[in-house]
Amino acid sequence: MDAQAVITGANFVSAETGRLVLVTNEGNTRFGMAPVDVHIALVGIEKIVPTDRDFGVFLNLLGRSATGQQLTVYTEFIKGPKSPEQPSGPNNMHVVFMNNGRTDVLESKCREILRCIRCGACQNVCPVYRQASGHAYRSPYGGPVGAVLSPLLFGDRFPELADLPKASSLCGACNEVCPVDIPIPDLLLRLRDKAKQEKVYSPGAVPMSGARP
Ligand code: SF4
């Protein structure tokens, strides 16, 4: 309650109005913003949608695919610092758009992963994730989406993440449930091929290397 500033992300940002949407099921963003003077939003550039009307489609897809709700419990629409009528909230607001490798992903053969809305549906159906859990993916992103996104965004600093695309049976369940139809099994195969072309081998590949023709 004594904090001066809060840092959040944003689930979506409208290019039309600059309005941010933040969703949580616990109310943590609303709670975090209430007592502070400054709100800083760090937003990946892929979170930008064309208009406010697009929020309706994406919020419905997100709630339905994440937890089976029509709308996530706390859905905040934020267009700036608090108004004079509001009893609490930040007086200053800063939005920082992050590229951090995303335009490289856009240029790559795996650009479809930038459509991801982080619903987590692919994790819930993934037989590997359900056994291994999130920590096994060694990155903020776990499951099928993490197996694609982590090597792409963090692979230059953590080359060992190149083995994540192998953590899949390619059963296709992730693609089947994905609300934005990302062809995750195809992307995993493309990343396996990329690791092979670039000769980035995981430790697990070494014992088998002698058996190669
Ligand atoms: S890849 Fe698809 S199913 Fe997985 S988190 Fe992203 S949008 Fe959801």
Task: Say if residues 70 and 37 touch (Cβ distance below 8 Å).
Answer: no
In a domain, 210, yes or no: no
Kindly state if the Cβ of 117 falls inside 6 Å of ligand 1: yes
179 confidence band (pLDDT: 50, 70, 90): very high
pLDDT at residue 51 tops 70: yes
What number is the average pLDDT over the span 88-112?
A: 96
Distance, CA of 162 to CA of 192 (rounded, Å): 8
| Residue 122 Cα to ligand 1 middle (Å) | 5
Residue 84 shares a structural domain with residue 114: no
Residue 128 shares a structural domain with residue 62: no
Task: Provide the CATH number for the domain around residue 32.
Answer: 3.40.50.10420
Residue 85 shares a structural domain with residue 167: no
Q: What percent of the chain has pLDDT over 90?
A: 83
pLDDT at residue 213 tops 70: no
- State whether residue 182 is helix, strand or coil: coil
Which pLDDT score, from 0 to 100, does residue 159 have?
A: 87
For residue 14, the cross-strand partners are 49
Domain boundary among 42, 65, 98: 98
Domain boundary among 81, 98, 115: 98
For residue 34, the enclosing domain spans 5-98
| Residue range 116-174, pLDDT digits in tens | 999 999 999 999 999 999 999 999 899 999 999 999 999 888 888 999 999 899 999 99
Which pLDDT score, from 0 to 100, does residue 201 have?
A: 64
For residue 49, the cross-strand partners are 14
Task: Provide the CATH number for the domain around residue 140.
Answer: 1.10.1060.10
In a domain, 212, yes or no: no
Residue 129 shares a structural domain with residue 82: no
Residue 142 shares a structural domain with residue 190: yes
The count of structural domains within the chain is 2
Residue/partner pairs of 131-140 with CB below 8 Å, 24 or more apart:
132/167, 136/167, 137/164, 137/167, 138/164, 139/164
Task: Say if residues 102 and 45 touch (Cβ distance below 8 Å).
Answer: yes
Beta-strand relationship, 20-24 and 12-14: antiparallel
Ligand 1 nearest atom to the CA of residue 145, by list position: 1
Kindly state if the Cβ of 118 falls inside 6 Å of ligand 1: yes
| Residue 53 Cα to ligand 1 middle (Å) | 21
Kindly state if the Cβ of 180 falls inside 6 Å of ligand 1: yes
| Residue 81 Cα to ligand 1 middle (Å) | 31
Protein residue with its CA nearest to atom 2 in ligand 1: 178
| Residue range 54-71, pLDDT digits in tens | 999 999 999 999 999 999
Which pLDDT score, from 0 to 100, does residue 205 have?
A: 47
Residue 87 shares a structural domain with residue 168: no
Residue 156 shares a structural domain with residue 92: no
